[in-house]
Structure 1
C-alpha cells in the first residue's frame, strides 16, 4: 500500500514554514489496530545509537516507568577538536555540491541460509570469521559495481560509519547519546572489484575496519588536515557507495507496550547519494532486508539481476 507523503506528514505550525524541527515524532494508527511511529531528527543531535536510546526511553515512559533506565548524558565536550579543525572552524564553509542522480529504490531480501553460506565460504577459504554486515556489504558493493558497468580502472569507494565509543579514553559516560563515529572508506578499481571473489572483498572491508584505531588517532592529531584531507567529506559521486547497518543500533528493541516492532524502515532513503541500509525482514520473517537507493533507472534492473545471483 502506498500513501502520499502529504497525507501523512503534519502541517507546519503558523509562521514556521520552511523551518524543520530538531526532533519530530508522529503516530499513525490504522483501522486494523496497528500503528506506525515516525521519527525525524537532526543528525547534529545524535547518531543512530543515540536515536535508538531516545526511542527506548520514550517506550519505557509509555510503559509506565517514571524515569528511563538509562539517564541521557549530554557530555558534548568529551573530546577536543583536532588542531587543524579548530582553525578551519573560523573560516566560512561552503556546502558541497550535491548531485542529482534520481536514484531508484530497490529492496533485496537475503535469507539466513544465504548469510550462513557466505560466512562458511569465507571461513573455509581463510580460517577466519566474518560478520553478517561484512558479507552483505561485500556482495552489495561488488554487484552494484558490476551492474553499473563502470569503465575499466574507474576508482570506486565503499563508505560506512563505524562506532568509535570503544576507542575513547577515558570512556564516555553511560547514557551519552551524541555523535561518536568515524568514516571507514575502502577504495578499489572497478576492474579489480568486478574480478574479485566475495571472500576477497570481505577481506578488503575487514582490513579497513582493522585500521580504524590508527586512522581515528591520526584524525584527532590533525594529520589528515595537514594534507588537506577530510575523512568526513568523501566524494558525493556515483562511484561512491554508502552503506549503513541498522541491526545493532537498538531500534528493534524499542517497546511502547505492545512488544518489539514488526518492521523498521527509513521513511525515505537518499535520492541523490548512492546508499544501502542493512535491516531485518519484517517479523515473523528471519533474514536481512537490504534497502537501497543506489542506482539510476537505467541500472536498476541490472542491479537486481546481479543481486538475485546470491538469493
Structure 2
C-alpha cells in the first residue's frame, strides 16, 4: 500500500527560532570553491527523515535532543551558522556570523502508519511537514511516538556526502559523543580555479544550446511511477548485454535503461539530440585524494549525448557504452578544468535543454543517520522526481531484500509507453509481469 495525497492531518508549529553554535565561533569570510559556487548549485535542496517510536528513548524529546545536538555540531561546522554573500565576479563567500540555523518545532496529529505500509515518496501533506523557509530545519513529533526531521540546505555549501557528514556529526553528539568522529575540513581552495585558469577538457554539459526541438513536458498533469529494481530485474538486464559489458556498475546499467525507456516515451524528433547528466564523484580522483572530512561539493556533471533515433533503435548496449565512456572522462584534470571554466565563463548553469538528469543517493547513507531512535524508516530527498530529473533511492521489500527505486514523472500517455517498454526489457521467461505484487512498477496515477 502506498501513501495517497488524500491523507490529511493537522500540524501545530511553534515560532521559528535560530539555533546558534553552542560556543563562540570565529567571525571570518570563507570563500567557496569554484566547484561550489556554480550557478547550477545555487538552490535549496530539501531532505526528510522519518523515525519510528523507540521504547528505549521514552521520556526523551526528539526536538530537544536534536536542537541541542545541532547547536553543538555548529561549533565544528560554524560556516553553516553563517550567511552566504556574493562578491565581485559572482564569487560566493560565507560570512561566518554565528547567527545560526532556523529551526521549527511542530506536532502533527498523525501517525507514521498514515504515510503507508512502506515509506516512499511522494509523501502526503509534505508542505505541512517541510516548512518553506530557505535554510531551515525542524522536527515534527507524531502522535505515535515517532517523529520527522526535515531540513533544507543550500547546495553551494556542500554536496550529499558533505550533508550526511554534518547530519552524522549531529547524530553522534545527540547520542552522547563529545566531538564528531570525523573532524570537518573546509579547504575549499583545493577545488578552486588555478592561478592561470584554462579549460583543458571538453565540457558539453555547459553548452549554450537553444531548446527549439524538444517535445515539452508540461509541469502539471504528470503522473509518477516508482520503478523498482530488485536483484531479479538487475540480473535480467545484465543478461541482455554483450558479455564484455556485463561487469558494468548497477548505476550505469539502470541509468542506460531508464534513459532509453524515457526517450521512447516522450517520443522526440528522431534527429533530435537527447542528453543525460549525472553527478560523478571526484573525491578520490585527486592525487592525493581530498582529505577525509572535506564537506564541500566534489563532483562533476558529465553529459552523455545521442540522437533520439540511435538511442531508441539501438539495443541497450548502445546507451550503456555511452554512459561508461562519459563517466570515464571524469578525471582529476576534468574537475580542475570545470573549476577554471567557472571563472572564465561567469559560473554558467549546466545545460537543461533536451536533458534528463539523474542523481544516485543510494550510497549516501541519509537513512542510516541515528539520533538515538535507530536508523530512519526513510531518509532521502523529499521530492524525488520532476519531469526532467529523478533520484535513485534505496528501498527494502517485505522479504528484507534491498533494491533501488527510481521515480519517474511523465504525462499519462507517455507513462503508458514507458511502462510497456520497461516491462519488455525486464521480461522473464517470455512472460510479461502484470501482477501489481510481482511487477517492478508501482502505478500511482494521481496528478502531482
TM-score computed with the length of structure 1 as normaliser: 0.80
> Residues 193 and 336 of structure 2 are in contact (CA less than 8 Å); yes or no, is this contact kept in structure 1?
no
Structure 1 residues 225 and 33: alpha-carbon distance in aligned structure 2, compared to 1, 3 A threshold: closer
Higher helix share: 1
Moved over 6 A (4+): 3-6
Q: CA deviation at 1:51?
A: 0.9
Output one character per residue of 1:155-184: Cα deviation in whole Å (capped at 9) or x when no partner.
Answer: 000101111112223432211111111111
Offset at residue 188 of structure 1 (A): 0.1
Point out where structure 2 has 5 or more consecutive residues left out of the alignment: 18-101, 103-130, 200-209, 212-216, 427-439, 441-448
Mapping of residues 10-25 of structure 1, within 5 Å: 13=16, 20-22=133-135, 24-25=136-137
| CA distance 1:144–1:50, change in 2 (3 Å) | same
Contact map agreement 1:262 1:282 (CA 8 A) in 2: no
Distance in 1, Cα, partners of 2:255 & 2:291:
31
Are 1:263 and 1:282, in contact at CA under 8 Å, matched by a contact in 2? no
Give the whole-Å Cα distance in 2 for the aligned partners of 1:55 and 1:236.
30
Shift of 1:219: 3.4
Note the C-alpha offset of 1:74.
Answer: 1.6
**Residue equivalent to 2:393:** 279
Relative contact order higher in (CA < 8 Å, ≥ 6 apart): 1
**Mapping for residues 161-172 of structure 1, pairs under 5 Å:** 161-172=279-290
- Give the TM-score normalised by the residue count of structure 2: 0.57
How many Å apart are 1:241 and its aligned residue? 0.3
Unpaired stretches in structure 1, ≥5 consecutive residues: 86-95
Tell me which residue corresponds to 2:255.
Answer: 137
Comparing 148-157 and 161-170, the one that deviates more: 161-170
Does the residue aligned with 2:378 lie in a helix, a strand or coil?
coil
Where 2:219 maps in the other structure, the secondary structure is: coil
Note if 1:240 corresponds to 2:352: no
Report the CA distance between 1:116 and its aligned residue: 2.4
Higher CA-based Rg = 2
2:376 to 257, 261, 283: 261
Instruction: Name whichever of 280-289 and 42-51 sits farther off.
Output: 280-289
Rate the CA distance shift 1:148–1:12 in 2: closer, same or farther, 3 A: farther
How far off is 1:302 after superposition?
A: 2.4
Given that 1:119 and 1:131 are in contact with CA atoms closer than 8 Å, whether structure 2 keeps it comes out as: no
Distance 2:225 2:238 in 1: 24
1:24-103 equivalences in 2 (<5 Å)? 24-81=136-193, 83=197, 101-102=219-220
The structural deviation recorded for 1:144 is 0.2
